[in-house]
C-alpha cells in the first residue's frame, strides 16, 4: 500500500549539512502534517521536528536553530535541512505522516 519514503541521509563530518526528503510512494497524496523522528541504535524514536495541519513548524531540543522544515509547492515532499551537524544527530531518521505506513528511514551518520 501507500508508504512513506525517506531519502537524503549519508555520512558527514561534524559541522556539515544534509537535507532529508520525505514523500509518499508514487507521490499519491499531499503531506499536510508530519513528524520527523530520530532513532538511535537501541533507543526509542525521538521527535525532532513537527509540521502541523495549520502549517506551523516546531523543533525539539537541540534541533532548534540548526534544523529547518520546508515543503515543495505541491506539498508532495517535506524537507528537513540539517546544518551544523553533531555526532549526537546520528541515527535513522523516520518520517511519520498520519494515516500512512512507516517507511524504512534514512541513515544519518556524523563522525570525525
Spell out, as residue ranges, where the chain has pLDDT lower than 50.
none
* pLDDT for residue 27: 80
How many other C-beta atoms can be found within 10 angstroms of the C-beta atom of residue 96?
17
The β-bridge partners of 47 are 37
pLDDT tens sequence across 77-104? 999 999 999 999 999 999 999 999 999 9
Pairwise CA distance, residues 14 & 110, whole Å: 6
Amino acid at each position: 500500500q501507500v508508504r512513506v519514503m525517506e531519502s537524503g541521509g549519508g555520512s558527514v563530518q561534524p559541522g556539515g549539512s544534509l537535507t532529508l526528503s520525505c514523500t509518499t510512494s508514487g507521490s499519491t497524496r499531499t503531506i499536510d502534517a508530519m513528524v520527523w523522528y530520530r532513532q538511535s541504535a537501541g533507543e526509542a524514536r525521538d521527535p525532532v521536528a513537527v509540521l502541523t495541519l495549520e502549517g506551523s513548524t516546531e523543533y525539539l531540543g537541540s534541533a532548534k536553530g540548526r534544523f529547518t522544515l520546508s515543503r515543495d509547492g505541491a506539498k508532495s515532499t517535506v524537507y528537513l535541512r540539517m546544518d551544523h551537524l553533531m555526532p549526537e544527530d546520528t541515527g535513522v531518521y523516520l518520517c511519520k505522516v498520519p494515516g500512512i505506513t512507516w517507511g524504512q528511514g534514512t541513515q544519518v551518520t556524523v563522525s570525525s
